[in-house]
Homo-oligomer: A and B are copies of this chain.
Amino acid sequence: MFTRRSFIKTSALATAASFVNANSIFAQKNKIRNLTGNNRMQLTYRPYNLQLKHPFTVSGYTRTTTPIVLTEITYDGVTGYGEAAMPPYLGESQASVIAFLEKINLKQFSNPFELDDILTYVDKIAINNTAAKASVDIALHDLVGKLMGQPWHALWGYTATKVPFTTFTIGIDTEDEVRKKTLETGPFKVLKVKLGVDEATDKMLINTIRSVTDKPIRVDANQGWKDKHYALKMIEWLSERKVEMIEQPLPKHNLEDMAWLTDQSPLPTFADESCQRLEDILGLQGVFSGINIKLMKCTGMREAHQMITLAKTCDLKLMIGCMTETSCAISAAAQLSPQMDFADLDGNLLITNDLFSGAKFSNGKVQLNNEPGIGVNIL
């Protein structure tokens, strides 16, 4: 029970405790309004190419580099970092991202705290360009978190220690190379395999991995199977080989067959290409068991955070994924990971020229740190 006196006393303490930070920010806002506008948000960017440790093959293509664009948003001497990663199938390039970023005028906003209005404006500039939008969203979140002195996992009220194990991806390769790569996955508790080339290759990959380890495997078919009966036969074969789940077995628009497959499947099914953004989720109830959220698909942290709410309401399980990207975008995605059933955040571990340190892989998990924003520093 409390008294009026304790009420007054604690109220005064609370005001004192919060005085420095609350006032500094809103004093800045007032100051800016009286200035010439020089202290508005400034967005800068530059292209960069990620070098892959191993050539990367999924059903359809092989590559040795991934183009990205690095972003910065600066306000009142503080800088937030962001990134757009553009694997070819997303339809974005360094040129298209930069063309998009050139259209953005952040100087119309008086401060970065009005995230909702700023990101609604950015989203409306063009229909697609989701990676370009994510590069702004991530930099803005990093900036706002730094100005507030808080990491986003704390701003969202998540428990940092609840991050799930992350997978490490074994790309499609020869039997010898797959065996070698599998033996290099020592610290990882769970593996991920991209299937969907042809039946012989798919089974060779799984059998080769199983010849050297019994770690759980998660499978991504990348829409590679066209027939639901064939897909079910493959999933049943996989489920007998300690595979935990199957991602995007069928083409993304074939939701009718997908609902049948999820109903028959002994493994949980996850939507990747079928689930790009928030608006896709309602249509996936009963079609998949869960969704794979990736910042580069869904325009960034703000929409990803909303997707968690919607997916939970729709009884869909949650997975956080990534592209090949630096520790910047990985650390941004990691902020959401305490809410996830599965994590696939190995993008930064597949490259040789990362620019950031941030959320670090340890004990099988991408561990959150307590640094503000997305928790990254320049290497």
Q: List chain A positions with a Cβ less than 8 A from chain B.
A: 1-2, 4, 6-8, 10-11, 13-15, 17-22, 25-26, 44-46, 70, 72, 74, 77-80, 113-117, 119, 144, 146-151, 154-159, 162, 278-279, 281-282, 302, 306, 309-310, 313-314, 338-339, 355, 370-373, 377-378
Contacts and interface: CB of A to CB of B under 8 A. Distances in A.
A233 B157 CA distance: 47
16 contacts: A2-B46, A10-B78, A10-B79, A18-B149, A18-B371, A18-B372, A22-B370, A25-B154, A113-B154, A115-B157, A116-B158, A148-B148, A155-B155, A281-B313, A282-B282, A282-B314
A372 to B, nearest CB: 4
Q: Please provide the 4 A-B residue pairs with the shortest distance between their CB atoms, ordered closest to farther.
A: A115-B157, A21-B149, A10-B79, A22-B149
B313 A17 contact: no
Given A10-B79, A78-B13, A1 B154 contact: no
B146 A2 contact: no
A3 B100 CA distance: 21
A21 B150 contact: yes
A346 B372 CA distance: 38
Contacts of A15: 371, 377
A149 B370 CA distance: 17
